[in-house]
Amino acid sequence: MRAAAKELKRVADVTVRRDDKTAAFVLINTQEYHEKLDAILADLTKSERLTSNPVEDIKIEGNRTIEAINAANNAVHLPMISGDYGLGHLYGNVKTHKQGNPLRPIISQCPKPTYQLAKKLNTILMPFVPDRHCVASSAEFLKRIKDVSGEGVIASMDVESFHTNVPVDETIDLIANRVYRDEMTPEMNIPEQALRTLLAICTMRAPFTTHHGHMYLQKDGVAMGSSLGVLFPDFYIGVVEERVFSQLEWPLAYFRYIDDIFVKATSTQAIENLRRTFEDNSVLHFTLENSIDSSLPFLHVLISSTNEGFQTTMYTKPTNLGMCLNGKSECPTRYRASTIRAFVSRALPHCLSWTNT
């Protein structure tokens, strides 16, 4: 199957991308794929077109700040930016679980001058992330819901376009307040303004190229692929959770895995109030899925609420279909390599020379 996918990458009319939520491959028409990338680039609040390469300027500004930090103390030593670097590159994974199969934008980070610096900052800041309500995996979620009673109604909430909608300036402010003005957090040996500068360089100074070869600069939102691409969203929504639960009575249960939220409350109205309060206290938008017959899929688990507690079974989304053709979420089955060969042979009769997989 992997050999078939690699061979397909050489076909101009077909683009092979990963499914956003599974390990599946998706075959999508190249023109359609490029049109969806162009739609992402059209949002001028998130990125802007560049006329010159800013990599050297980023290196100079970053190194000036790093030198000042390293000279001021011995507790923290940040790596200098040295060597040759280039721009990131924008691509997208297909959200086959979403209507219209949109793309999740990802910017490759390894060529960029701030790649190693972002990794170091991520390590330094991880202990400060408010994570009281987080679960790290399906296994942890299942372990924690064992202690939840069976009363009430269940639902799930999902953040729309979580990473690209995280407000970077506000999140940097939230990080600074937590790091430098919260008596409960450990001491930071980096001056506040220096940390703010480095975080801005690693997020808002994120130049990349596109399929057209044009240069762009990401201005807001956090790119998937960045070492800070998880920390910023987690930090932002963690603070939002603290605001929300200072205003509302606690639900019967609340667990979050990245941008997927499981809620148990006394009524559907209480859950809707929770959703609205989240939106009132953030720039994010939340979708809501109520249970059907007291059952709800969440993190590949089907959860059924009973008077005694929860019953759980494995759940596979209808879109988890192996390799899908043309990025269509309604694909009826998993496809063997021979099926894909037959499909491409009909669609592109003279393009491929297949080998057994």
As to burial, measured by CB atoms within 10 angstroms (0-12 exposed, 13-18 middle, 19+ buried), residue 282 is: buried
> Within 13 A of 13's CA, how many CA atoms are on the CB side?
10
Domain tally, the chain: 1
Helix (H, G, I), strand (E, B) or coil at 208: strand
Domain that holds residue 252: 2-347
Residue 353 belongs to some domain of the structure:
no
CB of 201 within 8 A of CB of 62? yes
Residue 357 within any structural domain of the chain = no
- Per-residue pLDDT, 336: 46
Q: Is the pTM here over 0.85, yes or no? A: no
Residue 148: partners with Cβ closer than 8 Å, 6 or more residues away: 252, 253, 264, 309, 310
- How far apart (Å, rounded) are the C-alpha atoms in residues 53 and 44? 19
Q: How many Å from the N-terminal Cα to the C-terminal Cα in the chain?
A: 6
Q: What does the DSSP assignment read for 283-301? A: S--EEEEE-BTTEEEETTE
Alpha-carbon distance 92 to 102, whole Å? 9
Q: Tell me, yes or no, whether 354 lies in a domain.
A: no
Low-confidence ranges of the chain (pLDDT < 50): 320-337, 339, 346-357
Angle at Cα 221 formed by Cα 279 and Cα 52, nearest 5°? 155
**pLDDT score recorded for residue 321:** 47
Question: Domain for residue 356, yes or no?
Answer: no
* Phi (first) and psi of residue 289, to 5 degrees: -120, 115
In a domain, 232, yes or no: yes
CA distance 80 to 8: 40
In sequence order, which residues have a C-beta less than 8 Å from that of residue 2 and are 6 or more positions away? 357
